[in-house]
A and B are shown apart, each in its own frame.
Chain A
Amino acid sequence: MQALVIVAHGSHLSPGSAQPTYDHADTIRETGAFDEVREGFWKEEPSFREVIRTVESDEVYVVPLFISEGYFTEQVIPRELRLEDWDPDRWDSDGTSASQATLDVGDAAKTVHYCGPVGTHDAMTDVIVQRAESVTGDPDVGEGVALVVVGHGTERNENSAKAIEYHTQRVRDLDRFDEVQALYMDEEPEIDDVTDHVDADDVVVVPLFISDGFHTQEDIPEDMGLTDDYRTGWDVPGEVDGQRIWYAGAVGTEEFMADVLLERAADAGADIGDALDQVAEWTGGAPATGAGD
């Protein structure tokens, strides 16, 4: 038997944080690829600490629903899951190329395949493009359009910006959008000046965040000048300085995210049958970057 455990942040204050985790878990359950699919959280229950013991399967694929490699994926999650002999070097990553590590856990007789986070998987690029398609309602969106990927900023985690840059470059390489730009909340170049950074009349803005919350539903729309007061909402598209802003909200809420979770597990050796095809069919997703890796 094999289980998929999706580990995510969760929140003590807002139920919205965990919603994408449940949604993607449900999609994957529906594929039947795993005997068990479970969610585990830092701030909710079951906790990282106790999620492994809730599965019956011997083979457990753990995929962090996090954007970048760093403090959570390298320290907190492995420690809380009691991954034995974990060392970030096991992922052999340059900050965006985490793979997987096969480890024992301290509290159960199980083999855990600890995968890199969804955010740095190549398939995430596809989700960003898919997000642009969903928000514009145009499956061919690209020509005459600028795509902006928004990140939190480096703060103390340079990998956070690395993930943003990585996917931005990959979208650029597709040669599909007129312009592709990475902008940040807390550092230059800033999302506040979005219209200074791109020239296209239509600008799709995709925040590389897992769930919608304070940052994506309050800060970013206000910072961009899409609205003076987030409580009154904003138009999609909304107009800023004569440019049309198609603001997408957190990329992590895109249904096609289930694909990335599955690919992470498959890369680690999970047998997922035709689950990827099923998810693509249900979510309208497609690998924009060509075949997955």
Chain B
Amino acid sequence: MSAQRDDESLPPAAVDNLLEAATAHDSSGLLFDGLAIHQDDGGTYSLETPDSSHEDLSRTDLEAALYEVPALVTNWHFWELVVAGQGTPRRAFLRWCEGASLEPESDDESDAGTGPDPDDDHGTPVAERYRALETGVTRHWGELELTARLAPDVEGHGQGRRVYDVRHVEDADVPAHELEGHDHPHEAREIVTTDEKDRYRPLKTAPTLVTGWHFEGLSGDDFVETVRTIYPATIANWYREQRGELDVDHWLETAERQTGIYDIVDELPREAVEWVAEACCVDSQCVKRREWQYEDGDELAVDGGDGVFPCREPCSLVTAAARRWTVLESEDEKTWHLELTTSEMNQLVEIVDAVAEGRTDEIREADVYDGANRYRARYLRAKRMGDGSLGHEVEGDAGHDDHDSESGHDDHDSESDHDGHDSERDHDSDDDH
């Protein structure tokens, strides 16, 4: 785009505001994203940009010079006056979305005596960023495709203002008119509630986000709120991680903290925690990158995944499932006698695999070559499970511990959570319903 276009697109208020900030008598200058204004002792100013350098400027000269660098001015205006929120996850996230350094040094830090240095690392330089923003800068966040763009000019206002789009990564190439349009962040609640089979999604970061929708032209605030609605708290935790301040609570800490029906989860054996992580936390099940380990200094062998945002402690879904596994793991192993052909044994494996991969719906009705096919399973049941079980316990086996496996911690299936309350029945926890 030409300089002429830039000139037209510079909102005068932006220059006024910038001048005010840079020339206030208690200010030693201003440094922002490659724009440096320094107040000299003699009441004059110097202006440095990546492409130019001016000294001994009067206030009027400075004003004129600023009109020559509209992108730097509108960039300052957008970040400092529109987005503001210095030191907040929201601001850092918006900067990350367009490839800027997360927190540009401000004039507060330029008092060190050497004055502002425009050559500091600012991420992608503003001119380059603006070129990219003309068409849109795209980032991925879990299953989301996020795009930052420069807003189209509106009657001489809004120049330098960014707008944001959100859609499913799988819809990257779908024309906007084929997607259901939304513009209020909280409309995303409906999108996240159920998966494509209309089942409730208890884990917002499960990779089961439905496709076919988009948000277009959101303000920064609405954009962040939309992302927050789809993946709650991910921006806040990502930000902490960026600053090296992520407070990870490992498995054992989290388990030991539990009370009520979850009091028992710290009894889950170390090796079982590996299986929990493998069952629930790998990328195919959750787009967060698991950072929690068994305990500090004792890492789990299972891969934490490649997610862009971290998981800082076992979530409630994992804790609830782990409670079930703790109960189940308290059972003794036994030796069983069952008679199966090799193919039948293999078929059991296929059935477990199909359920574990969520593949059962994809198996065609007549595909009797697939062991997890419904007819194949029904046939196996008819042939081998006449009495409801696949086999019987080998007599005289030491594992005689035949008491109700849950009697130790029994509160029945309290996870059956009928009305949205985990009937923590062995506690006084039903106080909410």
A residues within 8 Å of B by Cβ? 8-18, 22, 26, 41-47, 49-51, 53-54, 56, 65-73, 75-76, 79, 107, 119, 152, 155-157, 159-160, 209-218, 250
Sample 18 A-B pairs with CB under 8 A, ordered by A number. A11-B202, A13-B202, A15-B193, A15-B194, A17-B421, A43-B316, A43-B422, A44-B202, A50-B236, A66-B432, A67-B431, A67-B432, A69-B431, A155-B425, A157-B430, A215-B418, A215-B433, A216-B433
Give chain B's interface secondary structure class.
loop
Chain B 416-433 interface 0/1 with A at a Cβ cutoff of 8 Å (1 = within) = 111111101111111111
Name which residue of chain B comes closest to A56, CB basis.
B88
Name which residue of chain A comes closest to B90, CB basis.
A56
Given contacts A12-B320, A71-B424, A71-B431, contact A17 B419 (CB under 8 A): yes
Residue in contact with B429 in the complex, picked from A17, A70, A212, A216, CB distance below 8 Å: A70
Q: Is the CB of B431 within 8 A of A18?
A: no
Pick the most buried of B88, B237, B422, B428: most chain A CB atoms within 10 A of its CB.
Answer: B428
Given contacts A76-B260, A211-B433, A213-B433, contact A46 B428 (CB under 8 A): no
Residue in contact with A46 in the complex, picked from B186, B232, B313, B317, CB distance below 8 Å: B232
Name which residue of chain A comes closest to B427, CB basis.
A71
In the assembled complex, the CB of A154 is this many whole angstroms from the nearest CB of chain B, namely 8
Q: Is the CB of B432 within 8 A of A9?
A: yes
Whole-angstrom distance between the alpha carbons of A47 and B233 in the complex? 8
Q: Which A residues touch B193, using CB under 8 A?
A: 15
Whole-angstrom distance between the alpha carbons of A216 and B85 in the complex? 44
Given contacts A9-B420, A12-B417, contact A53 B431 (CB under 8 A): no
In the assembled complex, the CB of A177 is this many whole angstroms from the nearest CB of chain B, namely 24
Q: Is the CB of A152 within 8 A of B430?
A: yes
Q: Which A residues touch B316, using CB under 8 A?
A: 12, 41-44, 47
Residue in contact with B233 in the complex, picked from A22, A26, A46, A156, CB distance below 8 Å: A46
B247 within 8 Å of A by Cβ? Answer: yes
Q: Is the CB of B420 within 8 A of A213?
A: yes
- Number of A-B residue pairs, CB cutoff 8 Å, is 161
Whole-angstrom distance between the alpha carbons of A209 and B418 in the complex? 14
B259 within 8 Å of A by Cβ? Answer: yes
Q: Which A residues touch B259, using CB under 8 A?
A: 75-76, 79
Q: Which B residues touch A45, using CB under 8 A?
A: 203-205, 232-233, 315
Name which residue of chain B comes closest to A208, CB basis.
B433
Whole-angstrom distance between the alpha carbons of A44 and B431 in the complex? 18
In the assembled complex, the CB of A49 is this many whole angstroms from the nearest CB of chain B, namely 7
Q: Is the CB of A15 within 8 A of B200?
A: yes
Q: Which A residues touch B194, using CB under 8 A?
A: 15
Q: Is the CB of B418 within 8 A of A66?
A: no
B122 within 8 Å of A by Cβ? Answer: no
Q: Is the CB of A160 within 8 A of B430?
A: yes
Q: Which B residues touch A217, using CB under 8 A?
A: 419
Top-5 shortest CB links A-B: A213-B419, A17-B420, A214-B418, A11-B420, A157-B428
Chain B 197-235 interface 0/1 with A at a Cβ cutoff of 8 Å (1 = within) = 000101111000000000000000000000010001101
Whole-angstrom distance between the alpha carbons of A76 and B429 in the complex? 10
Q: Is the CB of A213 within 8 A of B418?
A: yes
Q: Which A residues touch B233, using CB under 8 A?
A: 45-47, 50-51, 53-54
B378 within 8 Å of A by Cβ? Answer: no
Q: Which B residues touch A107, using CB under 8 A?
A: 247
Residue in contact with B431 in the complex, picked from A16, A50, A73, A214, CB distance below 8 Å: A73
Q: Which B residues touch A65, using CB under 8 A?
A: 432
In the assembled complex, the CB of B272 is this many whole angstroms from the nearest CB of chain A, namely 20
Whole-angstrom distance between the alpha carbons of A213 and B419 in the complex? 4
Q: Which B residues touch A216, using CB under 8 A?
A: 419, 433
Q: Is the CB of A50 within 8 A of B430?
A: no
Pick the most buried of B90, B186, B432: most chain A CB atoms within 10 A of its CB.
Answer: B432
Q: Which A residues touch B419, using CB under 8 A?
A: 11, 14, 16-17, 209, 211-217
Whole-angstrom distance between the alpha carbons of A152 and B89 in the complex? 42
Q: Which A residues touch B425, using CB under 8 A?
A: 155
Whole-angstrom distance between the alpha carbons of A55 and B265 in the complex? 30
Whole-angstrom distance between the alpha carbons of A47 and B426 in the complex? 23
